């Protein structure tokens, strides 16, 4: 699925498209990709349906434990700004959502700044070794077509099981911080530290003009995760904008 997507040049450069229309697009086109509710994963419903799933618990990814959207908002303080922030904080639910990243990207991918893109850029199906005929992890070091210029490191997730396990462990352990950031900052960006390798890729061993660009293979147990809220979702619904393995903090 994603391999075919990556080989489409227009698709490969989707991040240069400006319009933030994916939420509306999903509703208008009626794109459906229902997951299995019994698996307890995010993204089992499309955005429009998600809005109707108020109070169904966290099976659908963070929509649980909150009051019906149509109910009058509860009062938490005498300060209306604090009141609004706390109401939104509680609306995310006490129970951390669980994500299935393939479903997350199918539900919230597309074009524009809000589009989920973990598997497009860092999925385990992306070939590692440089190949002039397709987008590869090593090719990003050299700025091959579709990557938007040269990079000093480039990694992919080892497999989808590691990806889902790492994301869900992080979300479970940091849920209060995540929903605080989503409420107050409109975004949560975090650093993943796993107890085993989660990604594989390359770094440029010729940095700082010390030599020609040279892609050196390595594995990593570190990564980045970026979480956002589906635009217009009520109650607020978190999704993973992207998550990717990253190298050690210093070369």
Following CA atoms 105, 114, 174, 118 in sequence, which dihedral angle do they give, to the nearest 10 degrees? 40
* Closest separation in Å from C-beta 75 to other proteins: 12
* Closest separation in Å from C-beta 39 to other proteins: 28
Cβ proximity to other proteins, 44 vs 151, nearer residue? 151
Q: At what angle do helices 160-173 and 101-108 cross, to 10 degrees?
A: 80
Three-class SS state of 4: helix
Write the binding mask 210 to 229 for other proteins: x where contact by CB under 8 A, - elsewhere.
Answer: --------------x-x-xx
How far apart CA 193 and CA 183 sit, in angstroms, is 24
Write the binding mask 25 to 64 for other proteins: x where contact by CB under 8 A, - elsewhere.
Answer: ----------------------------------------
How far apart CA 216 and CA 221 sit, in angstroms, is 17
In the sheet that holds 188-193, the strands lie side by side as 188-193, 222-229, 238-246
What's 145's DSSP letter? Answer: T
Using CB under 8 A as the criterion, which residues of the chain lie in contact with other proteins when the complex forms? 13, 15-16, 18, 20, 77, 79, 81-82, 84-86, 89, 112-114, 121, 143, 147-153, 176-177, 180-181, 183-187, 189-191, 204, 207-209, 224, 226, 228-229, 231, 242, 244, 246-247, 249-251
């Amino acid at each position: 699925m994603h391999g075919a997507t990556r080989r489409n040049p227009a698709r490969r450069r989707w991040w240069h498209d400006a319009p933030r229309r994916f939420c509306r697009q999903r509703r208008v086109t009626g794109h459906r990709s229902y997951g299995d509710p019994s698996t307890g994963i995010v993204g089992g419903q499309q955005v429009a349906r998600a809005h109707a799933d108020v109070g169904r618990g966290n099976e659908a990814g963070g929509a649980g434990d909150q009051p019906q959207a149509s109910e009058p908002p509860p009062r938490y303080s005498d300060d209306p700004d604090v009141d609004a922030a706390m109401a939104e904080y509680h609306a995310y639910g006490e129970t951390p959502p669980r994500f299935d990243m393939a479903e997350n990207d199918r539900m919230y991918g597309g074009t524009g700044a809000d589009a989920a893109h973990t598997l497009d850029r860092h999925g385990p199906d992306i070939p590692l070794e440089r190949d002039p005929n397709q987008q590869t992890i090593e090719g990003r070091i050299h700025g091959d077509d579709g990557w938007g210029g040269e990079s000093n490191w480039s990694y992919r997730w080892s497999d989808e099981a590691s990806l889902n396990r790492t994301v869900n462990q992080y979300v479970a352990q940091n849920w209060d911080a995540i929903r605080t950031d989503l409420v107050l900052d409109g975004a949560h960006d975090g650093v993943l530290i796993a107890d085993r390798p989660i990604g594989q890729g390359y770094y440029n061993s010729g940095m700082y003009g010390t030599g020609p660009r040279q892609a050196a293979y390595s594995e990593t147990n570190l990564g980045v995760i970026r979480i956002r809220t589906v635009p217009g979702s009520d109650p607020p619904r978190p999704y993973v904008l992207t998550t990717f393995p990253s190298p050690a903090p210093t070369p």
